[in-house]
Amino acid sequence: MAGQFQLILAVLTVFETRAFGEGLHARTAGATRQAELQELLRETLDVALTTGPRGVLRGLQAAGAVGGLAAEYAAAGRLDPPQVVLRKLFERLGTTYIKLGQFIASTPSIFPEEYCEEMQLCLDRAAPVPWATVEAILRQDLGRPLREVFSSIDERPLASASIAQVHAAVLAGSGKEVVIKVVKPGTADIIAADLNAVYLATRFLEFAQPELSGFSLGPIVAQLRASMAAETDLLQEATHLTHFADFLDRRGLRGVATCPYLYRQFSSKRVMVLERLRGVPLTDLAAVSRAVTSSVPAETVLINALNVWGASVLGAETFHADLHAGNLLALPDGRAGFLDFGIAGRVSEATWRGLEALLGSTAVGDYATMARALGAMGAAGEGVDYDAFARDLGSFFSQLESLQAGLVVATAGGGGGGLAAGLDIDSAAVNRLALELARIGEAHGVRFPPDFGLLLKQSLYFDRYVRALAPDLQVLNDDRVQWRSSNGQAGAFAAAAAAAVAGGTR
């Protein structure tokens, strides 16, 4: 092992000597660069020690993925554009790189537009691990025979993604339906090895090209490394879920919204047992109308979901930051059901101040004020032309408002002659809208903070739900959409979110 570290040091020293040559001869600059290099080498050794032999194994797997893709292209006799090649390679490399691709797709202020758009196609799906493997994990983490906890478990997974898979089950004794989420074995090691390599690559790239440090690639990858590591720890997700559950109970909101009950006594870092909520996504008016057996209209379910989520942004310690159609359901009793808290966010004070400033400007179409609010919220360079920025924002929101709802109208079944309306809502469409707004900001020297991007995406999801379930809803003028709370904060965000949802003119 020591010999490997000496080899690393030798290679890196040669790299430094060749890459910077004469720049190191200047006394002051040279001393600074030497100090930076020493720090980088120490960091490299720390990462190497942490990664250990698993890094070598993962390197061999990566080489196999690259070789396999190269062989396919050689056989086809053609090569796709670079962004397509990279996306296909990411999918072959699995877990970490799929998440990395999704990160690229959601960070248009850093990566080229064609890569952001291509990475929206990066699919997080993976073959399930055998039931025997899942069973062994459950036995080990539960510390008891499975029959003592579950009366039945469906060995076929309900879903399988790169990090975890989910099985349906019934609890012994109570007979309650639950789902079991299990982290796939080896996932944490793969993520650690992959992201350590990516992190070091960005650090050396920034060292070789100091001008790239302005993009903060190193800190961004470090943050991504920490967040992805957290996704393999289901206790972290359990914490986010508990934050939201406590918020619902504290505000007395269980009558209009809920989240799965967490069976903490059966949960661990690798296993999470949750109440199973049965419902339908808020994307199909007819399906929601059929599924909700109470007298609650579909529009009310949507408004309740909007109000609850908006209030949770400040009212809960963390807010749900992945409200795609599979994670927000209409339940039979008319409540909104929030699922899967693997991705959660916090709003910084700067972003919050910017959102408050956006409230009034969005409601009345004051794009000049909106431009300055966005500039104050993000990292704005010198000499921003706010008048031009305002004009482009006005154009963007006009396009958002004029978008066709995409409703699919068909004769309802059963011979009643009624109409059923549904909406196909995909993450790619939401990402494209967020990408366009980020592009406008960057074109004018304004780079939005990551937490604003999270909020924007959720607001765009709600915009699609409004178009599907309540296209005539006037969210800025409807008393059911709560603008004020007892402390003013949560209501203020609800207004900002609703304004963004409405495209600024409803």
Active-site residue among 284, 322, 340, 392? 322
Q: Which tops the pLDDT comparison, 501 or 117?
A: 117
Q: How far is CA 314 from CA 224, 247, 318, in A?
A: 23, 10, 8
Q: Are 336 and 329 in contact (CB under 8 A)?
A: yes
- Enter the tokens of residue 71: 């062989």
Of the candidates 388, 394, 370, the residue with the CA atom closest to the CA atom of residue 448 = 370
Backbone φ/ψ region at 130: left (φ over 0), alpha (ψ -120 to 50), beta? beta
Residue showing tokens 């009345």: 364
Predicted local confidence at residue 14, as pLDDT: 36
Sheet of 257-258: strand order equals: 257-258, 336-338, 328-330, 280-281
Query: How do residues 436-455 score in pLDDT, each as one tens digit?
Result: 777 788 788 887 776 776 77
Query: How do residues 390-424 score in pLDDT, each as one tens digit?
Result: 999 888 877 665 543 333 333 333 333 333 333 44
What is the reported pTM?
Answer: 0.67
Instruction: Report the distance separating Cα 453 and Cα 9, nearest Å.
Output: 39
Which amino acid belongs to residue 485? S
pLDDT at 258 over 90: yes
Q: Tell me the mean pLDDT in the region 50-66.
A: 63
- Is 322 among the catalytic positions? yes
- Enter the tokens of residue 350: 């700067």
Predicted local confidence at residue 420, as pLDDT: 34
Collapsed DSSP state (helix, strand, coil) of residue 337: strand
State how beta strands 257-258 and 336-338 pair: parallel
Q: Are 363 and 499 in contact (CB under 8 A)?
A: yes
Q: Are 341 and 479 in contact (CB under 8 A)?
A: no
- Enter the tokens of residue 321: 């930051």
Of the candidates 478, 11, 72, the residue with the CA atom closest to the CA atom of residue 200 = 11
Q: Are 64 and 75 in contact (CB under 8 A)?
A: no
Helix H or strand E segment including 236: helix 234-251
Backbone φ/ψ region at 264: left (φ over 0), alpha (ψ -120 to 50), beta? alpha
Q: Which tops the pLDDT comparison, 447 or 130?
A: 130
